[in-house]
Structure 1
Amino acid sequence: MKKIVLVAGVIFSLIIIGILLIRTNSKNTNITKKKTKVGLIMNSVKDDGTWGQSHFEGIKNCEEELNLEVIYAEEVPKNEECVKIMEELIKEGCEIIICNSYDYGQYELEVAEKYPDVYFFHASGVKESKNLATYFGRMYQVRYLTGIVAGLQSESGEIGYVAAFDIPEVNRGINAFTLGVREVNPKAVVHVCWSGTWIDYDITSDATNKLLEKHPAIDVLTVHSDSLATMDIAEEKGIWSIGYDYDNSDTYTNTYLTAAVWNWEAFYREHIKRCLQGKFQGKHYWDGIESDIVRISKFTPNVKKGISEKVVVAKNKLENGEFDVFYGPIYDNEGNLRVSEGESMTDEAMLNDFNWFVEGVQIDE
């Protein structure tokens, strides 16, 4: 008799759990029943082929699935004007605001404080609040992989890197890329020049040409800016190129190898769902390659045979946590030991302390 009562009790408990799960799933499914307006503040245009387009397509690709209406503003000034534009979007019914540039930070914080019932996201931001989350991706992991491509593709062992600014984010990418290069081509050199701009085409073009004039043996070029000038020059001069932000392989068919690209769709889908479920958290997110927020784009036919297999091995190690880029020993380009064997850099150090460059980097002043 006791056994019968026990079995009945277990069955009853399972039924209750099943009902609760059904209700929970139903609730999560119904979150998309109502259309949600999302406002996107952009520092460039939606079809720039770089940073702006990666964000625009990322959120637009979530529109149908999550029943969103995306309202976007292009080339928004990074001053008090952006406050007015954010407020206009909120008045139009936007319940979520996304800003895609670091320079909007102080203004987005101001608006977030004024509108506590609206969710805010700030790409590459550094200050969070109760209703404002910041986010970025561990692009350095993909930079390392593209470095492997460059190191194996190069015949001269001289590689060019056109970078926007001497800041930790950019330096982290330069160092990761160079570690990838030197992993497969230990004597290779990465020549770096500063353009001093994220988006100005003419300035980036001048910086690229000066780099090539100074180092004519460069046979692979890559970039950390949101201008396509370097890719245009590489195509014109017949130099292998590795892109950034967005896959432009269809444009540069003769010289393009691959790119370190953003897949913002993966982030936006997950975190807008959380907003709709009332599970938003005002914190900083720095997701890695395993989250699919950062990717190495498909290889073009220009990539030498055998490179793909080596990159896949390294990518798998990054994805399963067996390896990360800044594991010691790592020496800087002045011969100093920066990361000891058996140690790795902390997130804090990677985010803020890269005022030095690894062995193999040569900076053009």
Structure 2
Amino acid sequence: MKLVYIVPSLILAVIIAGLLTFNVKKKNTDITREKTKVAMIMNGSIEDHSWGQSHYEGMRKTAKELNLDVMFRERIPADRTSEEVMEGLIAAGAKIVIANSFQLGPYVQNVAVKHPDVKFFHASGLGYSKNMSTYFGRIYQMRYLSGIVAGMQTKSGNIGYVAAFDIPEVIRGINAFTLGVKKVNPNANVIVRWTKSWNEDKACARATRALWAHHDSIDVLTLHTDSQEPLRIADSLGLWLVGYNLDNAEMYPEHFLTAPIWRWENFYTPHILNVLKKKFVGRNYWSGANSGVVDLAPLTNHVAPETIDLVNSERKKIQNGSFDVFYGPIEDDTGTIRINEGESMSDSDMLNNFNWFVKGVIIDEE
């Protein structure tokens, strides 16, 4: 009879020991149990309805999922001031520092060297180190799709494009958009005006008004700035709008068509989780259509069904790898073949050497 009682007792003891071991193991591996401090350095505002807000909204979702305490710093200039801000946030306990502007690159690198135990992420940069990664998305793929929408929508064949600087990132977007336009409307032109500023409202408004003054046949307008002034002015003129960074259809219900947009939580969540798991690797990330980082805002009811069908078809080709935007033959604005038939542009050239425009781009200057 004693054996009858001893065996259940042993079984119970084993079960209890197992549960205790499980709980200890769970406690030791629960890497999000305690809050981690993260600093986000921004060149703009968290309420700009554009680049800055796209990072803010993405990080808020990541913070909720990973139990992060995020310290946002807005409108940080690309100078030594940014280093002082980062140093202060690290002193306040930040274990991860994120800078969301290309122009902050040199300053992020300087601070990263001084703090090897802190992990750094630099948006739209290219260099990396043991404790710093750079990241961006193949938003040019979504630019191409939005160009198809613009090309199908225009009646005049003249599409306006208000852009910040003639750097590879911006030129890549202009060219991708134009290739989308030309796919459906071979005779159309994309007319570009530079603002020389990412987010200064006055400069962006001035460039938009100058573009319209020189080319009042434009009936669709898109942009690569963080300011909403180009869309606001174009909306007041009754032009069709293709946005950027965020889906702002509710702001411009009468004229908004779509926008290439960012879903940064799909980058921040897995990569910050890797930091918490101590699996961080410094490298450059360039996420494509299948990553969820880049997307196209839902096409509004101003867009024709046949346009929607074509966009969906082209998107599937990009996602399954049977097509990408810069597949030859591609001709530049001087008539020279830049990419031969059967060839494609390398990532290195797209990232570093885009200093030319495809056929159909017109630069509007004084």
Give the structure-1-normalised TM-score: 0.91
Is the aligned partner of 1:81 residue 2:84? no
Runs (4+) of structure 1 exceeding 3 A deviation are: 25-29
Are 1:223 and 2:220 counterparts?
no
Q: Does 1:206 align with 2:232?
A: no
Alpha-carbon contact 1:127-1:134 (below 8 Å) kept: yes
Corresponding residue number in structure 2 for 1:296: 296
2:12 corresponding residue in structure 1: none
Give the corresponding residue for 2:70.
Answer: 70
Identical positions, percent: 52
- Give the equivalent residue in structure 2 for 1:356: 356
Q: SS at 1:205's partner residue?
A: helix
Structure 2 CA distance for aligned equivalents of residues 360 and 104 of structure 1: 33
* Partner Cα separation in structure 1 for residue 58 and residue 47 of structure 2: 12
The superposition leaves residues 157-177 of structure 1 with CA deviations (integer Å, 9 ceiling, x where unpaired) of: 111111111111111111100
Deviation at 1:322, TM superposition (A): 1.0
Distance 1:216 1:45 in 2: 32
- Residue 115 of structure 1 is matched in structure 2 by 115
Amino acid across the alignment from 1:200:
E
For 1:313, the equivalent position in structure 2 comes to 313
CA deviation string 1:312-363 (max 9, x = no partner):
1111111111100000011111111110000000011111121111111111
Cα deviation for residue 302 of structure 1 reads 1.8
Residue 31 of structure 1 aligns to a residue in which SS? coil
> Corresponding residue for 2:50?
50
Which residue of structure 2 lines up, in the alignment, with residue 16 of structure 1?
none
- Structure 2: distance between partners of 1:28 and 1:294: 35
TM-score after normalising by structure 2: 0.91
2:240 matches 1:244:
no
For 2:169 and 2:28, the matched residues in 1 are separated by 37
Unaligned runs of at least 5 residues, structure 2: 1-21
Alignment gaps of 5+ in structure 1 = 1-21
Shift of the alpha carbon at 1:245?
1.1
* Structure 1 residues 81-160: aligned runs within 5 Å: 81-160=81-160
Deviations 1:118-141 (CA, angstroms, capped at 9, x unpaired): 111001112211101011111111
- CA shift at 1:29, angstroms? 6.2
SS in structure 1 of the partner of residue 356 of structure 2: coil
Query: Is the contact made by 1:144 and 1:176 (CA closer than 8 Å) also made in structure 2?
Result: yes
8 A Cα contact 1:28 1:277, kept in partner = no
- Amino acid across the alignment from 1:300: T
Over the residues paired in the alignment, what is the CA RMSD in angstroms?
Answer: 1.6
Larger radius of gyration: 2
Aligned partner of 1:95: which letter? K
Give, as a single letter, the amino acid of the residue that structure 1 aligns with 2:64: E
- Structure 1 Cα separation of the partners of residues 64 and 207 of structure 2: 42
For 1:171 and 1:77, how far apart are their aligned partners in 2? 23
2:59 and 2:28 map into 1 onto residues whose CA distance is 20
What's the CA shift for 1:27?
Answer: 8.6
Shift of 1:26: 5.4
In the aligned structure 2, how far is the partner of 1:170 from the partner of 1:26? 47
**Counterpart for residue 4 of structure 1:** none
- Aligned partner of 2:6 in structure 1 is none
Paired residue type of 1:160: G
C-alpha distance in structure 1 between counterparts of 2:106 and 2:361, whole Å:
34
Q: CA shift at 1:117, angstroms?
A: 0.9
- Residue 223 of structure 1 aligns to a residue whose secondary structure is strand
Q: Deviations over 1:178-213 (max 9, x none)?
A: 100011111111111111111111111111111112
- Counterpart of 1:169, as a letter, is E
